[in-house]
Amino acid sequence: MLTTFQWESYKLLRRPAVWFSIGLFLLLAVGLGYLTFYLVYTYSPPASSQGLPRGVKLSDFKVELYPAAFAQYTLATWDTLGGVFALILGVLSQGSEYGWGTIKTLYTQRPGRISMLAGKLLALILAVLAMVLALFAVDALSSFAVALVDRKATIAFPAAVDILKAMAAAWLIFGFWGVFGFALATLFRQSAMAIGLGLAYAIVIEGIVFQIAGNVGGNTVRQIESWFPLANTGYLVRSFGSALPPQFARNIPKPVADANHAVLVLSVYLLVFLAVSAVLVRRRDVT
């Protein structure tokens, strides 16, 4: 397995598509997550504050961009879109083998299919971890830059333990999406279908289905939704609190389930997709 892990890590590091995906994600984190919102909050005309509560200005939302809130802001901003990039990494890790026609060679070599699969998945999980570390690093630097530009008298980051918890939560969320993409690529034996279906689920399917059903089923539907991955991603993110101004944070509804429930459900889904991938690789003909 270790030999497989070394070679899979080498392949990921040498692939331009991997670097492009992670690079684009980090560019969005800085350009969209910080620069764009800073310009909007700072230079929007007075009329843009219409519709906000009395005494609240759009510039009040800049509190999200300061270092004290960067861990919460990073999780809340990128839990889904960052998951999409992790899903793409998972699909590329496995789906490309079918596109290249190397799957036959890969799974007919020693030490066996499951060991080869374990090495690929370990390389993927560590690649996702690297993506999480890079995301938090660029967001921390961006929040620090915002505080310097605004000449904040004090610049305080969250406690180290809170940052580590937020990074662990992001790793679990992105890891789920990465393994989900890996399982889809294994199931469909290609990348295009796996990415398409994964994107559809992440952006459309679960959210729309439960939004429509919630108008009819009420609490019953919300309890059912609490066992689906996107909902639990939201529960986990919201367990870290909100970086919004207090006037808005107090109006955010409490999640149906807590962080422990979210971690359990996401971990179960991750293990299920691992098991599905292992069964398909072990039992399926590679021709």
pLDDT tens sequence across 141-174: 999 999 999 988 788 999 999 999 999 999 999 9
Letter string b/e over residues 112-135, b meaning 16 or more CB atoms within 10 A of that residue's CB: ebebbbbbbbbbbbebbbebbeeb
Average pLDDT over all residues of the chain: 87
User: Considering the entire predicted model, what is its pTM?
Assistant: 0.91
Residue 112's region, left for phi above 0, alpha for psi from -120 to 50, else beta, is left
Evaluate if residue 179 carries a pLDDT over 90.
Answer: yes
Q: Max CA-CA distance within the chain?
A: 69
| Local confidence band at 212 (pLDDT 50, 70, 90 cut-offs) | confident
Tokens of residue 5, six digits: 């892990």
- The reported pLDDT for the residue numbered 102 is 76
Residue extents of the structural domains in the chain = 2-22+64-283
